[in-house]
Amino acid sequence: MSTIPEVRARTDTGPPTATPVLEARDLWRSLPLGGQVLDILRGISFRIERGEFVALMGPSGSGKSTLLGCISGLDQPSRGQVLLNGTDITRMKESQLADIRNRTVGMVFQAYNLIPTLTAQENVEVPLYVGDHPGSPGRRAQELLTLVGLGQRFGHRPAQLSGGEQQRVAVARALATAPPLVIADEPTGNIDRRQGTALLDLLEEVRQRTGTTFVIATHDEEVGGRADRVLRIDDGVLVADGRRRSGTPAPA
């Protein structure tokens, strides 16, 4: 297992109690549709503190994926602001956004998005060749693969790994640059229930060891039940923000 200091999320951008890792302020996302305008997001606002495990839930078409795109800097809201570690990324140029994303946000995609010709270790190394990151990419990748239980799979390509193992490689890759925030889009959607439970156990272990914040968009009620907090989206509106008390399930 990697030592805790080696995998700790970045906290050098402000005191944890002063600056939320993520803040959305009155987010709107609108697209032209024929002669009309379709509002996909309609005035969504929330704050996410460091170390929280937050589930983003809602029916298909409710705006979850669009919201993930906006808060990660992959998409631009029509109105409103997104602050990552206190920095407003809303109107940044793409070159600036790429740097912020590389240092601040790790992404876990439903389809894994691993490069099929690269080994597990090489896939995890990829983000470390963008920007300025200390240490050896190979050593960092091996530490993270060991952390997620794949210490014997460094040289295996995605086709040689099970779906659950590929998802673990994707988690390790998301953690490569020690981002304070990891965003996951339906991470249990393409794996069975047993693998999904194991993945959630892993994310909780990583959170406890590193202090990483997780925001997970999901239809999976098990994810919602294990989250500290559930943000529910319906028709582009934040309709509920439920916090779980210790020992009680998250709101349904």
Residue 132, number of CB atoms within 10 A of its CB: 8
Region for residue 235 given its phi and psi (left: phi exceeds 0; alpha: psi -120 to 50; beta: otherwise): left
191/56 Cα distance (integer angstroms): 19
Does residue 250 lie in a domain region? no
Strands 53-57 and 79-84: unpaired
CATH classification at residue 224: 3.40.50.300
Does residue 248 lie in a domain region? no
Does residue 144 lie in a domain region? yes
Q: How far is CA 174 from the centre of its chain?
A: 8
If DSSP states are collapsed to H, E and C, what string results for 13-59?
CCCCCCCCCEEEEEEEEEEEECCEEEEEEEEEEEEECCCCEEEEECC
- pLDDT value at residue 76: 92
- pLDDT value at residue 14: 43
Does residue 130 lie in a domain region? yes
Does residue 252 lie in a domain region? no
Q: Which of 47, 73, 68, 45 shows the shortest CA–CA distance to 56?
A: 68
Q: Domain span at residue 56?
A: 4-243
Does residue 198 lie in a domain region? yes
Does residue 134 lie in a domain region? yes
Does residue 81 lie in a domain region? yes
180/198 Cα distance (integer angstroms): 22
DSSP string, 168-179: HHHHHHHTTT--
Q: How many domains does the chain have?
A: 1
Q: How many helices (H) and strands (E) does the chain have?
A: 8, 10
Is the Cβ–Cβ distance between 170 and 150 less than 8 Å? no
Per-residue confidence of the chain (252 residues) as pLDDT tens digits? 333 334 455 444 444 456 899 999 999 999 988 889 999 999 999 999 999 999 999 999 999 999 999 999 999 999 999 999 899 999 898 889 988 888 899 999 888 899 999 999 999 999 999 888 888 999 999 999 998 999 999 999 999 999 989 999 999 999 999 999 999 999 888 888 888 898 899 899 889 988 999 999 999 899 999 999 999 999 999 999 987 644 444 443
Token reading at 240: 């509920």
57/111 Cα distance (integer angstroms): 19
The model's pTM is 0.85
What letter represents residue 44's amino acid? I
